[in-house]
Structure 1
Amino acid sequence: MPHNTTSFTASEAGISDLALSEFLAFKLGEEEYGIDILRVQEIRSFERPTRMANAPEHILGVVNLRGVIVPIVDMRIKFKLSPVNYDIFTVVIVLNIGARVVGMVVDGVSDVITLSPQQLRPVPEFSSAIGSDHLLAIGSLENRMLILIDIEKLMSSADLGLFPALVH
């Protein structure tokens, strides 16, 4: 039976945890994305990381965050967006992924958004730099649309190359 947009639920989008409703909104290029706020440890201003030899292009290097060595991933490079311009709005979102800490460079952070299950829409099937299995849903809020990312799946994916021990 086809679903109309008014009866769509989060479980139909493949989101099993209905409590997952608060997202940190951030910008990459012209698009706005959202990630589970519970994965965010902190937001820091961008500082040039120490480059690591033979690291993939999207891994800018590492920073020392209070004694923890944190890999820094530039999401614009990873998603093959227009040339990266680091400015005063560029920030690093520090994430807790399992027992690991990783930094994600984005163009800017806007706010924390609470979305109800009725505001979530399924992700359409198409080819993009972000695999559809790494996307949760499209969040719709007034005149804004957020692409909601399963940040744990994305950061631990084999193609990102961050956590080889986690890949089976």
Structure 2
Amino acid sequence: MSRQLITFELGEQSLGVDIMAIREIRAWSPATPLPNVPAHVRGVVNLRGVVLPVLDLSMRLGWGLTDPSARHVIIVVRIGDQLQGVIVDAVNDIVTIREEHMQPLPDVGSNEASGFLEGLATVDDRMILVLDLEKLTTEIKTSASLAEAA
């Protein structure tokens, strides 16, 4: 069995997320900050009348704060019954991965970022870190509730 991933860049890394979770890809627009939310929640944006929490993926993975510019994009993903925005540097392409080509993460000790990954996939000569969206947003569900109230 195979699955399709949208791949994107975050710094020097190639990451991927299941294409079925993607709702849209939109240009960067500044987020309205919210008080008392984790540092990786950049705020909310208005998506055609829907308040959309925006997550700084680099910060969430422990790779540092993103300084968004016009070249950045927001990937809108559905996680459970809620839409979330994820800031990335650039979207690359769609790749098809066969399940048997997914590699488990090597055991390299305690690493916060590895807790958000489903596995690794090799496409041509590049390694793609495959995100587990459910794990990525576990902590921010409370923040998303705050965003809905805003």
TM value normalised by structure 2: 0.86
Report sequence identity in percent. 32
Rounded to whole Å, the distance in 2 between the matches of 1:51 and 1:97 is 21
TM value normalised by structure 1: 0.77
Compare 21-30 and 83-92 and name the one that shifted more.
83-92
* 1:37 counterpart letter in structure 2: I
In structure 1, the partner of 2:81 is 99
Rounded to whole Å, the distance in 2 between the matches of 1:31 and 1:100 is 26
In structure 2, the partner of 1:162 is 141
Deviation at residue 164 of structure 1 after TM alignment: 7.1
Rounded to whole Å, the distance in 2 between the matches of 1:80 and 1:99 is 26
Rounded to whole Å, the distance in 2 between the matches of 1:131 and 1:118 is 20
Compare 115-124 and 34-43 and name the one that shifted more.
115-124
**What are structure 2's unaligned runs of at least 5 residues?**
145-150
Asked if 1:128 corresponds to 2:107, the answer is no
In structure 2, the partner of 1:3 is none
Deviation at residue 119 of structure 1 after TM alignment: 2.3
In structure 2, the partner of 1:112 is 94
Rounded to whole Å, the distance in 2 between the matches of 1:26 and 1:75 is 11
After superposition, the Cα gap between the structure-2 partners of 1:125 and 1:108, relative to the gap in structure 1 and judged at 3 Å, is same
In structure 1, the partner of 2:128 is 146
RMSD over aligned CA atoms reads 2.1
Rounded to whole Å, the distance in 2 between the matches of 1:101 and 1:38 is 13
Rounded to whole Å, the distance in 1 between the matches of 2:106 and 2:97 is 19
- How many residue pairs get aligned? The number is 144
Q: Which has the larger radius of gyration?
A: 1
Say whether the 8 Å CA contact 1:41–1:96 is kept in structure 2: yes
